[in-house]
C-alpha cells in the first residue's frame, strides 16, 4: 500500500512547443521533450525550435523571475543535441502507486539518469520489466518488501517518496496524517541509514507535516542536512501557471507564478502580482484564482468521483523537480524551483518559496518574492501562518511521541 499519496505538485516545463525533430534527415515528429530527451534512439537529434515551455531568449523577464533552466533554447536556431552521459541514480519509494508508476516512467526518460530503483511493499517486478522495454538508457531495478528496502537505497543520488495514501472522501486530515506519517517515518529511517547524502523529495501528504517528520528522523539519526530535504510543492506552481494562462489567454510556455507558504488549503499562496509576464488582475480574479489553486486537489477528487486524486499531474510535477535536482547535481549553476524547505524567510521553521539549487542542495532561498506584496497577498500570508505552524509542530511532535513510546515500551 505504498501507493503515492498526495495531490499536489512538474514545474519545469519540459516539452518544447513548435519544435521539429529529425532522427536523421527525413524522420520528423512534432514535439521534443527537452528535459526528457532520453527519447532518442539515434546518436543525435537535430532540432529547430521556436521556443520551449520555459520561454525563449527574447523573454528575459521570465527567465530572471523563475528559472528551472532546462537549457535556454535559441530562437529559430538549428543545433545538434548530443546525448549526455547518464550518471545519476534515483530511487522511487512507493513506486507501485498512482503517482509512482508514471513518475518512474518520466524519470527513466531523463538523459541524466543511469538507474531507477523502484521500491514498494507491493510487487514492482512487473512495473520494472515494463519500463525496461522502453529504449531509454536508464536501467530500472525492482525491490519489493521491507527486506529489500535497504538495497533500493544503496548508491542513489535522489530519493523520491510518493508512498502513502491519498486523502479520500470522508477522511479527516488527522486520518491521513496518522497513516502517512508512520509510512514516511519508517522510510526515512532506512534513507538515513542507507542514503544519508541523497537529495530527499517528500511528496507524501500532508507535506506541511511529513517534511518535519522526515527532518526529525534525520536529526535523530545524526545525518540531517537541511539543504537536501525538500517538500515537493511543484504542482502548486504548475497549476498556478496553467490557470493564469487559461484565465488571461496567455501562451502557457511563457507564464510563471511563484507559490509560497505550504502545500495544503490556505497555506498555498500563489503570488499573482509577481506573475511573469506581468499581467493585471481585477480584485475578483485574484480571489477566484487563488481559491481555485488552493482547492485544485479537491477539484480533481470531485472530477474523479472520489475514486482518486492527482496522480498524472503530480507525477509530472515531481518529475520536473527531480530533473531540476539532477541538473543542479550535474553542475548547472542556474536552477531555481519552489519547494517547502527549512527556511529563515519567516518566523516559521519551514516555508515554501523559490530556492536556488546547487550540487549540495539548497544554495539559497530567494527573499525577493516576499517583498512588495499586495495587500491581499500580505493579509493571506499572515492568515496562513497559524495553520502552517500547527502542521509543522504536528509533524515534530509525532516523531518525539513515537520515540518516547518506543523508549518506554
Q: Grid coordinates representing 224?
A: 540531517
Active-site residue, selected from the candidate residues 17, 117, 201, 263: 263
Inter-helix orientation angle 283-294/234-248, to 10°: 140
To the query of whether residue 263 is one of the catalytic residues in this protein, the response is: yes
What CA–CA distances, in Å, run from 288 to 241, 282, 296? 14, 10, 12
**What is the dihedral sign for C-alpha 74, 79, 85, 88?**
positive
3-state SS of 251-316 is CHHHCECCEEECCCHHHEEECHHHCECCCCCCHHHHHHHHHHHHCHHHHHHHHCCCCCCCCHHHHH
Q: Grid coordinates representing 404?
A: 518516547
Whether the CB-CB separation of 187 and 1 falls below 8 Å is answered with no
DSSP letters for 321-365: HHHHHHHHHTT-S-EEEEEEEE-SSSSSSEEEEEEEEETTEEEEE
Burial group, residue 80, by CB count within 10 angstroms (0-12, 13-18, 19+) = exposed
Enter the DSSP assignment of 379. H
d(CA 61, CA 73) in angstroms, rounded, equals 15
Q: What's the gap between Cα 106 and its chain centre?
A: 12
Residue partners of 157: CB distance under 8 A and separation at least 6: 88, 89, 90, 198, 199, 326, 329
Burial group, residue 349, by CB count within 10 angstroms (0-12, 13-18, 19+) = middle
Q: Which residues are catalytic?
A: 263
Amino acid at each position: 500500500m505504498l501507493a503515492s499519496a498526495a495531490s499536489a505538485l512538474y514545474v519545469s516545463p519540459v516539452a518544447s512547443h513548435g519544435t521539429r525533430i529529425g532522427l536523421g534527415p527525413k524522420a520528423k515528429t512534432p514535439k521534443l521533450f527537452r528535459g526528457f530527451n532520453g527519447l532518442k534512439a539515434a546518436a543525435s537529434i537535430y532540432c529547430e525550435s521556436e521556443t520551449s515551455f520555459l520561454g525563449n531568449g527574447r523573454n528575459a523577464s521570465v527567465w530572471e523571475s523563475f528559472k528551472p533552466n532546462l537549457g535556454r533554447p535559441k530562437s529559430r536556431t538549428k543545433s545538434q543535441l548530443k546525448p549526455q552521459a547518464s550518471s545519476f541514480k534515483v530511487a522511487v519509494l512507493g513506486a507501485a502507486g498512482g503517482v509512482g508508476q508514471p513518475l518512474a516512467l518520466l524519470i527513466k526518460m531523463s538523459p541524466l539518469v543511469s538507474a531507477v530503483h523502484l521500491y514498494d511493499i507491493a510487487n514492482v517486478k512487473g512495473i520494472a520489466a515494463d519500463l525496461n522495454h522502453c529504449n531509454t538508457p536508464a536501467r530500472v531495478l525492482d525491490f519489493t518488501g521491507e527486506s529489500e528496502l535497504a538495497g533500493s537505497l544503496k548508491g542513489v543520488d535522489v530519493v523520491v517518496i510518493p508512498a502513502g495514501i491519498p486523502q479520500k472522501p470522508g477522511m479527516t486530515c488527522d486520518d491521513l496524517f496518522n497513516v502517512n506519517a508512520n509510512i514516511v517515518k519508517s522510510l526515512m529511517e532506512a534513507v538515513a541509514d542507507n542514503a544519508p547524502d541523497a537529495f530527499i523529495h517528500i511528496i507524501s501528504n500532508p507535506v506541511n507535516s511529513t517534511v518535519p517528520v522526515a527532518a526529525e528522523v534525520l536529526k535523530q539519526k545524526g545525518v540531517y542536512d537541511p539543504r537536501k530535504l525538500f517538500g515537493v510543492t511543484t504542482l502548486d506552481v504548475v497549476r498556478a501557471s496553467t490557470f493564469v494562462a487559461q484565465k488571461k489567454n496567455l501562451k502557457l510556455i511563457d507564464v510563471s507564478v511563484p507559490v509560497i507558504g505550504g502545500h495544503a488549503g490556505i497555506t498555498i499562496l500563489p503570488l499573482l502580482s509577481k506573475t511573469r509576464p506581468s499581467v493585471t488582475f481585477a480584485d475578483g480574479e485574484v480571489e477566484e484564482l487563488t481559491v481555485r489553486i488552493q482547492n485544485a486537489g479537491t477539484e480533481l477528487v470531485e472530477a474523479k468521483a472520489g475514486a482518486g486524486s492527482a496522480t498524472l499531474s503530480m507525477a509530472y510535477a515531481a518529475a520536473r523537480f527531480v530533473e531540476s535536482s539532477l541538473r543542479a547535481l550535474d553542475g548547472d549553476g542556474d536552477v531555481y524551483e519552489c519547494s517547502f524547505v527549512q527556511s529563515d524567510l519567516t518566523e516559521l521553521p519551514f516555508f515554501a518559496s523559490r530556492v536556488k539549487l546547487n550540487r549540495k542542495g539548497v544554495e539559497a532561498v530567494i527573499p525577493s518574492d516576499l517583498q512588495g506584496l499586495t495587500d491581499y497577498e500580505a493579509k493571506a500570508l499572515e492568515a496562513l501562518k497559524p495553520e502552517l505552524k500547527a502542521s509543522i509542530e504536528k509533524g515534530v511532535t509525532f516523531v518525539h511521541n513515537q520515540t518516547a513510546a518506543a523508549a518506554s515500551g
